[in-house]
Amino acid sequence: MLGSYELFKTAIYDLSKIDLNSYKERQMKRRIDALITKNGIKSYKEYINKLKTDNATFQEFLNYITINVSEFYRNPEQWRILETEVLPALFEQFGNNLKIWSAACSTGDEPYSLVMLLSKFLPLKRIKIYATDIDKQVLEKARLGLYHEKSLRSLPAEFIEKYFVKINDRTYQISEAIRSCVDFNHHDLLKDPYPSNCDLIVCRNVLIYFTDDAKNNVYKNFNKSLKKDGVLFVGSTEQIIQANQLGYRSTHSFFYKKI
């Protein structure tokens, strides 16, 4: 036994302001216990002491508990709906200068996908995506824009040809023209203030790790961030139960309009 997980959660909050109570406990505890064991540490108390004194261990911990699985155009059929139905409706209602927030953006695959898709409608100089994540390390990776070929497997070939340079057999870098359209910022969905007057919020495949209460709070905060008739685009395992009670109406699978 590693000791009291409850005391560990309190210590982590004091150290990092990350509230582990908002994550599904069994999943998160299993991830953390595996990391501690991998490091040859015998107790939560010993691990906390190392986190306080060793910055490399602390950064490893943050990177490990924040879920960073991403790829360009994940679930391509949903991106087709965004292109053919959702975006045209938003342009018609709000004009071309849409305020778009890519929340929990991980390594940047999603906001860059948004820029490339928007480039089919607008010149790049008129596109700006606000992108955020809790993990400062992945934000640095996102700004660099280097990706393994596997991350590009669902991306339309036209975008790869136009906006990527092949660095070696398995690595590509996205063009500076696309990178300059994204403003990356650190943000914790569970405690930081949310931006306002958004036309579209994209937050996919992250909230599945949160408790129901934490998830509903995030959905309520997204709702406050959206303009009336603005749209929330969620992941393929994240359909919102009782969306009406949270201020949304489902327009397509995984797309919710603020009512």
**128 located within any domain:** yes
pLDDT category at 116 given cuts 50, 70, 90 is: very high
Structure-model confidence comparison of residues 150 and 81, the more confident one = 81
Dist. CA 98–CA 230, nearest whole Å: 10
Q: Does 216 score more than 60 pLDDT?
A: yes
CATH number where 157 lies? 3.40.50.150
Instruction: For residue 4, report the phi and psi dihedrals to the nearest 5 degrees.
Output: -80, 115
Q: Does residue 221 contact residue 248 with C-beta atoms inside 8 Å?
A: no
Over residues 9-62, the pLDDT tens digits come to 999 988 877 778 877 788 788 889 989 998 899 999 999 999 999 988 887 887
Q: Does 114 lie in the same domain as 215?
A: yes
Q: Does 130 score more than 60 pLDDT?
A: yes
pLDDT the model gives residue 69: 55
When divided into structural domains, the chain yields a total of 2
Domain range for 44: 5-65
Dist. CA 255–CA 181, nearest whole Å: 24
**70 located within any domain:** no
**138 located within any domain:** yes
Dist. CA 40–CA 117, nearest whole Å: 46
Sheet of 248-252, strand order: 182-186, 129-133, 100-102, 198-203, 226-234, 255-258, 248-252
Cα angle 234-164-138, degrees, rounded to a multiple of 5:
50
Q: How far is CA 233 from CA 43, 91, 164, in A?
A: 41, 16, 26
Q: Does 56 lie in the same domain as 83?
A: no
3-state helix, strand, coil in the chain (%, to 5): 50, 20, 30
Dist. CA 85–CA 227, nearest whole Å: 18
